[in-house]
Chains A and B, each alone.
Chain A
Amino acid sequence: MTRQALPPGTLDDTDRQLLNLLQEPLPLTAHPFAAAAAATGLAEDEAVARVARLREVGAITRFGPFLDAAAMGGAFCLCAMAVPPGRFDEVVTLVNAHPEVAHNYERQHRLNMWFVLACERPEGIARTAARIGKETGLKVHLFPKLKEFFIGFRVVA
């Protein structure tokens, strides 16, 4: 996925309108693009072709179901460590070697390494965190979600 803005002019107003509309839940019908096509004044096949182009140029990363990972089974936990700068690369290697580490980000803070553990069973979280703590000799802070507020975000294209 590109982390850069597209060149100016890549998207026209209709493309932007489609991007904004299609972030809303798609109607679960045989012709799920019909409403967005009608709202943008396009024929249904034109709308689908535009969306396909938006995916090709990288304006869309994904079209499909968004899953609630926890509802699928499995356990997730955000973790953080304060890694001494001189040991950063060594610790990255140790942490990333665990398949349970789904993402890992360097952030500007004393707690400078933030990763998400994804395990099949809840007990896997504590076990993996303890293993990482032992291997690195660093404290692993666990930040499990207590409550999620997940409603409003839409990208304004």
Chain B
Amino acid sequence: MKLDATDRRLLAATASGLPLTLRPFAEVGTWLGLPEAEVIARFAALQAAGIVRRIAVAPNHYAVGMVANGMSVWDVADEAAEDLGARIGALGFVSHCYLRPRSLPDWPYNLFAMIHGTSRDEVEAKRQQVAAILGPALRASDILYSTRILKKTGMRLVEGG
């Protein structure tokens, strides 16, 4: 799907969020001079194309008690990695799961899964669940906890193109 100028205006206008009102799409329409039905149709097309994953609420997982998280990393046999990655990504406590290249000899791990829990003990227990799913394909693993946020600017919309 090729974004047109109106799609870009719509995404730019809603990048920081939608208004919390009874009819948010109508209100966005008034910002941009578009009918409500067109705002809805454009979001539906963007969602069908995978550019918008979904429109939803993002809870602050710290605020609701999920204060522990760790980047678990796994060295999984290449031939099994895609199938197993899909199973790990489907777990409710895994927020991001990616297959990435190793960087040998410093870094033998090819599967990354961010694990969330209410405590570090809970994260460790969930890590054991992941290990059990990986089974014999698993060669080595580690978990990296973040100790400091050094920068967080969020994602900027790439304009033009």
Q: Do A and B come from one complex?
A: yes
Task: How many A-B residue pairs have C-beta atoms within 8 angstroms? Tell me.
Answer: 256
Contact B150 A113, beta carbon cutoff 8 Å: yes
| Interface of B (DSSP majority class) | mixed
Please give the residue numbers on chain A whose beta carbons come within 8 Å of chain B beta carbons, in ascending order.
1-6, 11, 16, 19, 22-26, 28-33, 44-45, 48, 51-52, 54-55, 57-69, 71-74, 78, 80, 82, 92, 95-96, 101-111, 113-115, 118, 120, 139, 141-157
1/0 per position for B77-112, CB-CB distance to A under 8 A? Answer: 000001001101111111111111101001100001
Complex partner residue of B67 from A3, A22, A33, A73, CB under 8 angstroms = A3
Establish whether residues B106 and A82, one from each chain, have CB atoms under 8 Å apart when the complex forms: yes
Q: Say yes or no: B60 contacts A59, CB within 8 Å.
A: yes
Interface size class of B (residues with CB under 8 A): 35 or more
Cβ-defined contact, A28 with B44, below 8 A: yes
- The complex places the Cα of A22 from the Cα of B58 at a distance, in Å, of 8
Chain A residues with Cβ below 8 Å from B58 are 23, 60-63, 66
Q: Is the CB of B90 within 8 A of A149?
A: yes
CB pair B156 A66 closer than 8 Å:
no
Q: Which residues of B contact A (CB under 8 A)?
A: 3, 11, 14-18, 20-26, 36, 40, 43-44, 46-47, 49-67, 71, 82, 85-86, 88-101, 103, 106-107, 112, 116, 142, 144-158, 161
A55, A65, A148, A150: which contacts B43 (Cβ < 8 A)? A65
- If A72-B51, A150-B97 touch, whether A96 touches B18 (CB-CB below 8 Å) is no
Interfacial chain B residues near A92, Cβ < 8 Å: 150
Cα-based distance from A24 to B58 in the complex (angstroms):
10
User: Chain A: which residue is nearest B154 at the CB level?
Assistant: A102
